[in-house]
């Protein structure tokens, strides 16, 4: 079944961030916050996991947001409205736990991780929660969906490393202030592994601040997304092995051994570079780097 691209937008002006609407009625019908899809662009395409960043059940549409980081995401950025993707598997992964909490929930999105925060904030708000969102990126051009996130948040805090918008510094700066000033029921952090590690450390109760339950969304390498290949496995601090695709992708951040994950992140870097360089050589029309 072909999956048509209905909308494509560049987000910001970095040339690396894109939003796409895909016609996928069956997936849209069953999608919830926390779910992801695995797409193949064409017969030779590798499988790329991407979060369902929004869904419209009535029109049978899901939205993805992706950052160009290598060959497949560059190839995806070269697809246009009306083009069809070869296949999409999903929805995969678990829906996030939805509950009405007493105190506010802090949702933190770093870089492209802002997109998966939106459905989580939306569904938790619909359940009656108060949401404080923190969006962070290196610079303001990499922040997107300000209005969408504001529409599901009581408070929206922006952070940039270079101070070009909002608070200058990392997302942990306002988070530290929030959890030292008021009771927070839950923290959700989605973004680069190092950001999720630092957030989980801050909320662990070992930093002189109250311990706050924290979920992180693990973007380990995934191939099948259904618990069979072992690509996404990770050890928890007690040495037990877990599978991010079927147990997550949202996992209790306090059990994750981030140091091992950070080491494993770059294990295919050389092959990824070769494949990217080869594609760039073949491709005459690339317009993003
Ligand atoms: C559950 C989940 C949800 C994700 N959601 C999003 C999203 O919404 N938007 C987004 O931009 N990115 C998302 N990612 C990451 C995305 O899958 C990778 O950026 C993409 O596969 C890179 O492919 P590439 O060929 O362009 O880059 P490559 O050159 O192949 O790899 C670049 C880097 O991307 C990561 N990567 C590569 N292949 C995979 C893979 N099969 N699974 C996971 N990571 C991989 C690695 O860290 C690698 O170093 C998600 C990953 C997971 C596991
Ligand atoms: S992606 Fe294969 S086991 Fe999780």
pLDDT in tens, 151-196: 999 999 999 999 999 999 999 999 999 999 999 999 999 999 999 9
How high is the pLDDT of residue 180? 95
What pLDDT, on the 0 to 100 scale, is given for residue 37? 98
Q: Name the stretches of the chain with pLDDT < 50.
A: 289
Q: How far is the CA of 235 from the centre of ligand 1 (A)?
A: 20
Among 34, 52, 69, residue to substitute to test ligand 1 (most atoms within 8 Å of Cβ): 69
What is the best residue among 142, 216, 272 to mutate for testing ligand 1's pocket, by most ligand atoms within 8 Å of CB? 272
Give the span between the Cα atoms of 146 and 111, in whole angstroms: 12
In the reported structure, the alpha carbon of residue 50 is separated from the centroid of ligand 2 by a whole-number distance in angstroms of: 14
Could you give all domains of the chain from N- to C-terminal order, each with its CATH number? 3-92 (2.40.30.10), 105-217 (3.40.50.80)
- In the prediction, which pLDDT does 284 show? 60
Q: How far are the Cα atoms of 8, 26, 31, 33, 165 from residue 57, in angstroms, in the given order?
A: 19, 9, 8, 13, 35
pLDDT of residue 167: 97
> What's the gap in Å between 204 CA and the centre of ligand 2?
28
The answer, yes or no, to whether any atom of ligand 1 lies below 6 A from the CB of 144, is no
Predicted local confidence at residue 44, as pLDDT: 86
92 lines ligand 2 (CB under 6 A): no
Provide the 10 A C-beta neighbour count for residue 187.
24
If you average pLDDT over every residue of the chain, what do you get?
93
């Amino acid at each position: 079944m072909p999956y048509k691209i209905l909308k494509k937008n560049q987000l910001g002006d970095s040339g690396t961030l894109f939003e796409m609407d895909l016609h996928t009625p069956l997936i849209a019908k069953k999608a919830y916050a926390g779910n992801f899809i695995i797409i193949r662009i064409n017969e030779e395409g590798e499988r790329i996991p991407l979060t369902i960043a929004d869904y419209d059940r009535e029109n049978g549409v899901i939205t993805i947001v992706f950052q160009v980081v290598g060959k497949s995401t560059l190839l995806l950025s070269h697809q246009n409205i009306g083009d069809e993707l070869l296949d999409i598997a999903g929805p995969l992964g678990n829906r996030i736990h939805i509950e009405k909490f007493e105190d506010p929930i802090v949702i933190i999105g770093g870089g492209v991780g802002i997109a998966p925060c939106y459905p989580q904030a939306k569904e938790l708000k619909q359940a009656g929660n108060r949401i404080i969102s923190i969006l962070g990126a290196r610079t303001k051009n990499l922040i997107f969906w300000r209005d969408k996130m504001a529409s599901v948040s009581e408070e929206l805090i922006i952070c940039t490393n270079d101070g070009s918008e909002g608070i200058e510094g990392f997302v942990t700066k306002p988070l530290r202030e929030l959890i030292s000033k008021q009771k927070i029921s839950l923290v959700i952090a989605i973004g680069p592994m190092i950001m999720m590690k630092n957030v989980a450390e801050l909320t662990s109760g070992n930093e002189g601040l109250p311990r706050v339950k924290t979920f992180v969304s693990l973007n380990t390498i995934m191939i099948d997304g259904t618990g069979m290949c072992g690509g996404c496995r990770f050890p928890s601090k007690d040495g037990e092995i877990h599978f991010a695709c079927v147990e997550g992708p949202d996992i209790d951040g306090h059990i994750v051994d981030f140091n091992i994950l950070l080491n494993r992140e770059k294990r295919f870097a050389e092959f990824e570079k070769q494949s990217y360089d080869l594609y760039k050589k073949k491709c005459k029309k690339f317009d993003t780097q």
